[in-house]
Amino acid sequence: MTRRREGATSELTLIERARRTQLIEVTIELVADRGYAGASLAAIAERAGITKAAVLYHFPTKAAVVRAAHEHALAALVADVAAAVEAAAPANRPAAYVRSMVGHLREHPRHTRMIIEAMVHDDGEHDPAARWGPLAQLIDAARLARGASGDIDPRTTAIIVGGGIDAIVAEQLHDPDYDTATAAEHLVDMLETTISR
Protein backbone atom coordinates (compact mmCIF):
# COMPACT_ATOMS: atom_id res chain seq x y z
CA MET A 1 0.00 0.00 0.00
CA THR A 2 1.86 3.02 -1.26
CA ARG A 3 1.01 6.25 0.47
CA ARG A 4 1.20 9.57 -1.31
CA ARG A 5 3.56 12.08 0.15
CA GLU A 6 2.33 15.63 0.47
CA GLY A 7 4.52 17.27 -2.15
CA ALA A 8 6.06 15.61 -5.20
CA THR A 9 3.15 16.41 -7.49
CA SER A 10 5.43 15.87 -10.46
CA GLU A 11 5.43 12.13 -9.89
CA LEU A 12 1.67 11.70 -9.76
CA THR A 13 -0.27 9.84 -12.42
CA LEU A 14 -2.97 11.61 -14.36
CA ILE A 15 -5.86 10.06 -12.51
CA GLU A 16 -4.25 10.76 -9.18
CA ARG A 17 -3.87 14.38 -10.15
CA ALA A 18 -7.54 14.40 -11.09
CA ARG A 19 -8.54 12.94 -7.73
CA ARG A 20 -6.39 15.39 -5.81
CA THR A 21 -7.87 18.22 -7.81
CA GLN A 22 -11.37 16.94 -7.17
CA LEU A 23 -10.73 16.59 -3.44
CA ILE A 24 -9.31 20.10 -3.28
CA GLU A 25 -12.37 21.44 -5.07
CA VAL A 26 -14.94 19.72 -2.88
CA THR A 27 -13.00 20.80 0.21
CA ILE A 28 -13.08 24.43 -0.90
CA GLU A 29 -16.81 24.16 -1.55
CA LEU A 30 -17.38 22.50 1.78
CA VAL A 31 -15.41 25.08 3.75
CA ALA A 32 -17.19 27.84 1.86
CA ASP A 33 -20.59 26.35 2.64
CA ARG A 34 -20.15 25.17 6.21
CA GLY A 35 -16.89 26.62 7.47
CA TYR A 36 -13.84 24.82 8.79
CA ALA A 37 -15.81 22.90 11.39
CA GLY A 38 -18.19 21.50 8.78
CA ALA A 39 -15.42 20.22 6.56
CA SER A 40 -15.02 16.81 8.18
CA LEU A 41 -13.30 13.90 6.54
CA ALA A 42 -16.65 12.15 6.20
CA ALA A 43 -18.21 15.18 4.51
CA ILE A 44 -15.32 15.53 2.09
CA ALA A 45 -15.50 11.85 1.20
CA GLU A 46 -19.24 11.96 0.72
CA ARG A 47 -19.11 14.95 -1.64
CA ALA A 48 -16.34 13.33 -3.62
CA GLY A 49 -18.32 10.10 -3.83
CA ILE A 50 -15.64 7.98 -2.18
CA THR A 51 -14.91 6.71 1.33
CA LYS A 52 -12.96 8.38 4.11
CA ALA A 53 -10.21 5.81 3.70
CA ALA A 54 -9.95 6.63 0.01
CA VAL A 55 -9.47 10.31 0.82
CA LEU A 56 -6.68 9.40 3.22
CA TYR A 57 -5.05 7.39 0.49
CA HIS A 58 -4.54 10.49 -1.60
CA PHE A 59 -3.58 12.75 1.31
CA PRO A 60 -1.71 11.68 4.44
CA THR A 61 -4.07 13.48 6.86
CA LYS A 62 -7.21 15.54 6.79
CA ALA A 63 -5.15 18.60 7.67
CA ALA A 64 -3.15 18.05 4.50
CA VAL A 65 -6.33 18.13 2.41
CA VAL A 66 -7.42 21.40 3.95
CA ARG A 67 -3.93 22.85 3.63
CA ALA A 68 -3.82 21.94 -0.05
CA ALA A 69 -7.23 23.51 -0.60
CA HIS A 70 -6.13 26.70 1.12
CA GLU A 71 -2.88 26.87 -0.84
CA HIS A 72 -4.77 26.35 -4.07
CA ALA A 73 -7.14 29.25 -3.37
CA LEU A 74 -4.36 31.51 -2.15
CA ALA A 75 -2.08 30.77 -5.10
CA ALA A 76 -4.83 31.72 -7.54
CA LEU A 77 -5.38 35.02 -5.72
CA VAL A 78 -1.70 35.88 -5.52
CA ALA A 79 -1.09 35.07 -9.18
CA ASP A 80 -4.04 37.19 -10.28
CA VAL A 81 -3.11 40.20 -8.17
CA ALA A 82 0.58 39.96 -9.01
CA ALA A 83 -0.18 40.02 -12.72
CA ALA A 84 -2.42 43.07 -12.39
CA VAL A 85 0.11 44.90 -10.24
CA GLU A 86 3.02 44.24 -12.56
CA ALA A 87 1.03 45.48 -15.52
CA ALA A 88 0.60 48.88 -13.87
CA ALA A 89 3.07 51.73 -13.54
CA PRO A 90 4.63 51.96 -10.05
CA ALA A 91 2.61 55.06 -9.17
CA ASN A 92 -0.63 53.22 -9.89
CA ARG A 93 0.21 49.89 -8.34
CA PRO A 94 -1.51 50.38 -4.99
CA ALA A 95 -4.75 51.13 -6.84
CA ALA A 96 -4.22 48.14 -9.13
CA TYR A 97 -3.70 45.98 -6.04
CA VAL A 98 -7.00 47.05 -4.50
CA ARG A 99 -8.98 46.72 -7.71
CA SER A 100 -7.61 43.33 -8.69
CA MET A 101 -7.96 41.86 -5.22
CA VAL A 102 -11.56 42.99 -4.83
CA GLY A 103 -12.25 41.77 -8.36
CA HIS A 104 -10.71 38.37 -7.82
CA LEU A 105 -12.48 37.79 -4.54
CA ARG A 106 -15.78 38.82 -6.08
CA GLU A 107 -15.30 36.41 -8.95
CA HIS A 108 -14.30 33.53 -6.68
CA PRO A 109 -16.55 33.76 -3.64
CA ARG A 110 -15.83 30.20 -2.53
CA HIS A 111 -12.09 30.75 -2.68
CA THR A 112 -12.75 33.85 -0.62
CA ARG A 113 -14.48 32.02 2.19
CA MET A 114 -11.74 29.41 2.16
CA ILE A 115 -9.04 32.06 2.54
CA ILE A 116 -10.92 33.94 5.26
CA GLU A 117 -11.58 30.76 7.20
CA ALA A 118 -7.91 29.79 7.02
CA MET A 119 -6.85 33.30 8.05
CA VAL A 120 -9.00 33.27 11.14
CA HIS A 121 -8.58 29.67 12.13
CA ASP A 122 -5.04 28.61 11.18
CA ASP A 123 -3.71 28.71 14.68
CA GLY A 124 -0.64 30.87 14.95
CA GLU A 125 0.95 29.68 11.73
CA HIS A 126 -0.45 32.68 9.91
CA ASP A 127 1.82 35.74 9.60
CA PRO A 128 -0.12 39.01 9.25
CA ALA A 129 2.89 40.73 7.70
CA ALA A 130 2.50 38.45 4.70
CA ARG A 131 -0.81 40.17 4.16
CA TRP A 132 0.06 43.83 4.52
CA GLY A 133 3.74 43.64 3.59
CA PRO A 134 3.37 43.60 -0.21
CA LEU A 135 0.86 46.46 -0.25
CA ALA A 136 3.03 48.49 2.11
CA GLN A 137 5.92 48.10 -0.33
CA LEU A 138 3.76 49.18 -3.26
CA ILE A 139 2.69 52.24 -1.30
CA ASP A 140 6.30 53.13 -0.52
CA ALA A 141 7.30 52.76 -4.15
CA ALA A 142 4.33 54.77 -5.38
CA ARG A 143 5.12 57.63 -3.03
CA LEU A 144 8.70 57.61 -4.22
CA ALA A 145 7.57 57.69 -7.85
CA ARG A 146 5.28 60.62 -7.11
CA GLY A 147 7.65 62.51 -4.90
CA ALA A 148 5.20 62.62 -1.98
CA SER A 149 6.79 63.86 1.20
CA GLY A 150 4.29 63.71 4.08
CA ASP A 151 4.94 61.25 6.86
CA ILE A 152 2.43 58.46 6.62
CA ASP A 153 2.94 54.97 7.98
CA PRO A 154 2.79 52.53 5.06
CA ARG A 155 2.23 49.62 7.43
CA THR A 156 -0.87 51.13 9.00
CA THR A 157 -2.16 52.35 5.66
CA ALA A 158 -1.74 48.87 4.20
CA ILE A 159 -3.42 47.27 7.22
CA ILE A 160 -6.40 49.62 7.01
CA VAL A 161 -6.81 49.18 3.27
CA GLY A 162 -6.49 45.39 3.60
CA GLY A 163 -9.24 45.43 6.21
CA GLY A 164 -11.36 47.59 3.91
CA ILE A 165 -10.95 45.09 1.09
CA ASP A 166 -11.99 42.23 3.36
CA ALA A 167 -15.03 44.14 4.57
CA ILE A 168 -16.17 45.03 1.04
CA VAL A 169 -15.86 41.43 -0.08
CA ALA A 170 -17.59 40.14 3.04
CA GLU A 171 -20.47 42.51 2.42
CA GLN A 172 -20.82 41.26 -1.13
CA LEU A 173 -20.84 37.68 0.14
CA HIS A 174 -23.93 38.52 2.16
CA ASP A 175 -25.58 40.88 -0.30
CA PRO A 176 -24.84 39.77 -3.88
CA ASP A 177 -26.30 43.03 -5.18
CA TYR A 178 -23.70 45.11 -3.39
CA ASP A 179 -21.65 47.02 -5.94
CA THR A 180 -18.07 46.04 -5.09
CA ALA A 181 -16.60 47.81 -8.12
CA THR A 182 -17.89 51.18 -6.91
CA ALA A 183 -16.89 50.34 -3.36
CA ALA A 184 -13.39 49.49 -4.56
CA GLU A 185 -13.17 52.88 -6.28
CA HIS A 186 -14.27 54.52 -3.04
CA LEU A 187 -11.48 52.70 -1.22
CA VAL A 188 -8.98 53.61 -3.95
CA ASP A 189 -9.99 57.27 -3.52
CA MET A 190 -9.30 57.14 0.19
CA LEU A 191 -5.99 55.40 -0.42
CA GLU A 192 -4.92 57.83 -3.14
CA THR A 193 -5.69 60.83 -0.94
CA THR A 194 -3.61 59.35 1.84
CA ILE A 195 -0.52 58.42 -0.15
CA SER A 196 -0.44 61.62 -2.20
CA ARG A 197 0.26 63.77 0.81
Partner DNA sequence: GTCTATAACTTGATAGAC
Partner DNA sequence: GTCTATCAAGTTATAGAC
Distance from C-alpha of 61 to C-alpha of 8, rounded to nearest angstrom: 16
Taking alpha carbons only, the member of 60, 90, 99, 76 closest to residue 25 is 76
Nearer to its own copies, 5 or 126 (CB): 126
- 86 in contact with its own copies (CB under 8 A): no
Rg (the chain; Cα; Å): 19
Minimum gap (Å) between residue 74 Cβ and DNA: 21
- 6 in contact with its own copies (CB under 8 A): no
Q: Confirm if 115 and 165 have CB atoms less than 8 A apart.
A: no
Q: How far is CA 54 from CA 24, 72, 82, in A?
A: 14, 21, 36
Q: Confirm if 175 and 120 have CB atoms less than 8 A apart.
A: no
Nearer to DNA, 19 or 99 (CB): 19
Nearer to its own copies, 59 or 132 (CB): 132
The listed partner (DNA, its own copies, none) that binds 31, CB under 5 to 8 Å by sort, is none
Nearer to DNA, 51 or 182 (CB): 51
- 50 in contact with DNA (CB under 7 A): yes
Chosen residue from 8, 10, 11, 53 binding DNA by CB under 7 A:
53
